[in-house]
Structure 1
Amino acid sequence: MISYNPKIWFAYIFRFHKSDSFRKLLPSILVIALYSGIVAYLEIEYFKLDDTSHVKNLFVIHTTLGFVISLLLAYRINSAYDRWWEGRKLWGSLMNNSRNLAIKLSVILKDEKDLAYFRKLIPSYASMLNKHLKDEETSMQLFEQVDLVIDHHKHRPNQVAKMIFQKINDLYITHKISGDQLIILNNEFQSFTDICGACERIKNTPIPYSYSAFIKKFIFIFVLTLPYAYSFTLGYYVIPVVSFIFYVLVSIELISEEIEEPFGYDENDLPTTKIAENIKKYIEEIL
């Protein structure tokens, strides 16, 4: 995720980051500019349409549909941001619950071997969840100082969660923790699987195809018909105007596509790897 100071204006206005939509859209913007120039030339120089032409009245359609497309794009980016923000809240909860579990275990347990076990396993859940959501595939992994093997071709977070609960249950059977303490620990532990399921729901449930495809078609047709109406009033100035409108509308769609799936590798995706590293650091401090 890109870190920045939201109070700085001009530095970001005149700076184009590698993930900026302008860089991605520049070839398309040039094509739209060329297309607008050709339409303006044909209407002004070749066909020489006058003010009585019905083509001039096409702007009425754009005035009406402009309001509709603004509503659709506003809903589109809001729904995408809701998915991004929900993902951030889930990973924030994972960090808090991991620390709460570690704090309780640090007070309850006295055996260093038991503490070392959880010192490795609790951060491993965040790490495995991060790899699971990013579809990172690796081979079998052996944890240091812990006799555990993770099969990376199966559901890795579930395997780590099972190991953590198995260890907690063993501690209960050996009377190292009481029944009341088991109930207290279960709340934080259960939240791990709940967070995993919620993240999988975001990852595996994209915006409906028909809605996304309709917006793309709508923007495409809307922009392509702009030069026909506005060449009468703007002349060749229709070239930069239509190009700018195309940039604004398509940029909103591109931003929505990027943030609606917050667990990938895009510049604006959630820093889940960094969060997992912070969880590891905090757990090691506590335990």
Structure 2
Amino acid sequence: MIAYNPKIWRSYIFSFRKSDSFRTLLPFILLIAIYSGGIAYLEVEYLQLDDTSHFKNLSLIHTTLGFVISLLLAYRINSAYDRWWEGRKLWGALVNNSRNLAIKLSVILKEEKDLAYFRKLIPSYASMLDKHLKDEETSMLLFDDVDLAINHHKHRPNQIAKMLFQKIHTLYEAKKISGDELIILNAEIQSFTDICGACERIKNTPIPYSYSTFIKKFIFLFILTLPYSYVFSLGYYVIAVVPFIFYVLASIELISEEIEEPFGTDANDLPIKKIAENIKKHVEELL
């Protein structure tokens, strides 16, 4: 995720990052500018249409459809941001739950061997969840000072959650923790799986295909018909105005596509790798 200062306007207005929508849409913007210029030449120079032409009345349709498309795009970006924000809340909960589990274990457990086990395993859950959501493969993972191995062909976060609970249960059988402590620690471990399931729900349930394609087609047809009526009031200025309108509308759709799946590697996706590293740092400090 890009870190920035929202109070500095100048650097954002006059600079274009690699991930900026303008760079992505530039080929389409140029094509639409050429298309608009061709329509302007056809109507002004070749057909020599005047204000009595029915093409001028197309602006009435654009006025009505402009309101509709604004509602669709507003809903589109709001729904995408809701998914992004929910993902951030889930990873914030994972940070807090990892800390809480480490704090409780640091007080309950006395032996260094037991503490070392959780010192390695708790941060590993966040790290594996990061790789799991990004579909990154890992080989058999061996932990220092801990006799564990993770098979990347199976659900990796579930494997670590199972190991955490197995260790807690073993400590209970060895009388190192009480029944009440077992219940408390089990609730913390269960929250890890709940967070994993919620993240998978976001990742595996994209915006409906028909809705996404309809908006793209709507924007495309809306832009293609704009020059026909705008030529009467703007003349050759449609070469600049129509591509600008396309840039605004298409950028909203492009930004929505990027943030609706917040666990990827795009510039505006959540920094879950950094969050996982912070969890590791905090757990190691506590244990």
State the partner residue of 1:285.
Answer: 285
Tell me the distance in 1 between the aligned counterparts of 2:165 and 2:189.
Answer: 8
Equivalent residue number for residue 111 of structure 1: 111
Q: How does 1:89-108 map to 2 (within 5 A)?
A: 89-108=89-108
Partner of 1:263: 263
Q: In the TM superposition, what is the alpha-carbon distance from 1:13 to its structure 2 partner?
A: 0.6
Offset of 1:186 from its aligned partner? 1.6
> For residues 61 and 70 of structure 1, what CA distance do their matches in structure 2 show?
14
Q: Distance in 2 between matches of 1:75 and 1:6?
A: 24
| 1:209 maps to amino acid | Y
Q: 1:1-287, aligned counterparts within 5 Å?
A: 1-287=1-287
Which sections of structure 1, spanning at least 5 residues, go unmatched?
A: none
Query: Offset of 1:100 from its aligned partner?
Result: 0.2
For these two proteins, the number of residue pairs brought into alignment is 287
Whichever residue aligns with residue 2 of structure 2, its letter is: I
Q: Secondary structure at the match of 1:148?
A: strand
Q: Distance in 2 between matches of 1:141 and 1:187?
A: 26
Aligned to 1:142, what secondary structure does the other structure show? strand
How far did 1:25 drift?
Answer: 0.6
Deviation at 1:46, TM superposition (A): 0.3
Deviation at 1:185, TM superposition (A): 1.1
SS in 2 for 1:66: helix
Cα distance in 1 for partners of 2:57, 2:116 equals 75
- Mapped to 2, the partners of 1:9 and 1:187 lie a distance apart of 46
- TM-score when scaled to structure 1? 0.99
Q: Which amino acid aligns with 1:113?
A: K
TM-superposed CA distance for 1:116, in Å, is 0.1
Query: How much does 1:158 deviate?
Result: 0.2
Q: Percent of aligned pairs with the same residue?
A: 82
Give, in whole Å, the separation in 2 of the partners of 1:104 and 1:68.
54
- Report the Cα offset of residue 99 of structure 1: 0.2
Give, in angstroms, the shift of residue 102 of structure 1.
0.1
Compute the displacement of 1:138 (Å): 2.0
Q: What whole-Å deviation, never above 9, does each CA across 1:117-140 have from its counterpart, x for those lacking one?
A: 000000000000000000001221
Q: Secondary structure of the equivalent of 2:146? A: coil
3-state DSSP class of the match of 1:147? strand
1:184 & 1:191 partners in 2: Cα distance?
11
Give the whole-Å Cα distance in 2 for the aligned partners of 1:166 and 1:187: 14
